[in-house]
Amino acid sequence: MYPRAFHYHRAGSLKEAAAMLVQLGDDAKLLAGGQSLIPLMKLRFANPAHLVDLNFVSGTSYIREDNGAIRLGSLTRHAEIEASAAVARIPILHDCAAGIADVQVRNRGTIGGSLAEADPSGDWATVLFTLSTEVRCLGGTGERAVPLSDFIKDAYTTALAHDELVSEVAVKIPPKGSGGAYLAFKRSAPVYPTASAAVQLTMDRDVCQDAAIALGCVGLVPIRAKDAETALRGQTLSEKTIARAMAAARAASDPQSDMRGSADYKRALVEALVKRAIQIAVRRAHGEQVEVSHIYA
């Protein structure tokens, strides 16, 4: 399948790419990893007249620890994040990077592209909602840092202006005693998850000091399950408190019935994923090494 014909432009720097967007107008799109955009273009759901290729810009793929944060260049591939020792210290990030689609897609797809696309079924935004995350947006007038919760506006809609692009994603390193887990349920590796749950807990022995819970694929944007967080915060984590959080997460989810499952099925899935993610997050908060990733049916 061929996409509609387009003009190809190769950016030498991110600044130049932003300038090209201004010059080329509304019919221009950025090409990062291309693992969503190219399929959409082949199906002719997306028909840009101009593509600005970011893949030849040097210095855009990096993972740096700096000032209590991990900074990821926008063109950092999922596979590079999966292999990073710095990221391994924040297991929830590794869970996400190692489970997105399959090897081939992870070799190409980028964290900046994933956030900028804001697909309701994407993985990164859901995970990063549970950590303190800033998205750096570069445009003609300079660079600004946007908290992730302000960056994601709606399905496929972000705070990026037409002449802006994502330059970096900065994730605050969680405090000691904090552990997290991301579980996504998929029918097979290459497809989007049916539902996903990200849980980050800060524990003081058996008591949960702080909790962040986000749900993916069950709304137009990732859903912060605030009532579920409240159900855990300040509590000793027993089966009862976890059950309360599960019920609150289920109530917070807003899934649609589609080919991946009925709305009811997805609500049940949310409960189960939240339960498992809490259990793994607690074990990790206590220093245990637990390997998890996306679950296939």
Partner 1 sequence: MPDNVVPDRIENVPIQLKVNGKSCSRTIEPRKLLVELLREDLDLTGTHVGCDTTYCGACTVLMNGAAVKSCTVFAVQADGADILTVEGLEKDGELHPIQKAFGDCYGLQCGYCTPGLMLSALQLLSRNKQPNEKEMRKSIAGNTCRCTGYQNILKAIQMAAQNMKGA
**Residues found near partner 1 in the complex (CB under 8 A):** 1-8, 10, 27, 31, 34-35, 38-39, 41-44, 47-49, 51, 53, 55-56, 79, 101-105, 107-108, 188-191, 296
- Least separation in angstroms between residue 217's CB and partner 1 is 18
- Least separation in angstroms between residue 289's CB and partner 1 is 15
Tally of CB atoms within 10 A around 146: 18
Nearer to partner 1, 3 or 222 (CB): 3
Q: Which helix (H) or strand (E) holds 238?
A: none
- Assign 3-state DSSP to the chain and report helix, strand, coil percentages, each to 5: 35, 30, 35
- Least separation in angstroms between residue 178's CB and partner 1 is 27
Give the 3-state secondary structure of residue 110.
strand
- Least separation in angstroms between residue 37's CB and partner 1 is 9
Nearer to partner 1, 27 or 154 (CB): 27
Query: Strand pairing of 207-216 and 142-147?
Result: unpaired
Q: Residues 6 or more apart from 240 whose CB is under 8 A from it?
A: none
Report the amino acid identity of residue 38.
I
Nearer to partner 1, 39 or 68 (CB): 39
Confirm if 138 and 176 have CB atoms less than 8 A apart.
Answer: no
**Sign of the dihedral defined by the CA atoms of residues 44, 49, 55, 56, in that order:** positive
Instruction: Write the CA distances from 177 to 22, 32, 85, 110, 267, integer angstroms.
Output: 46, 36, 19, 29, 30
Nearer to partner 1, 111 or 131 (CB): 111
- Least separation in angstroms between residue 174's CB and partner 1 is 26
Nearer to partner 1, 41 or 166 (CB): 41
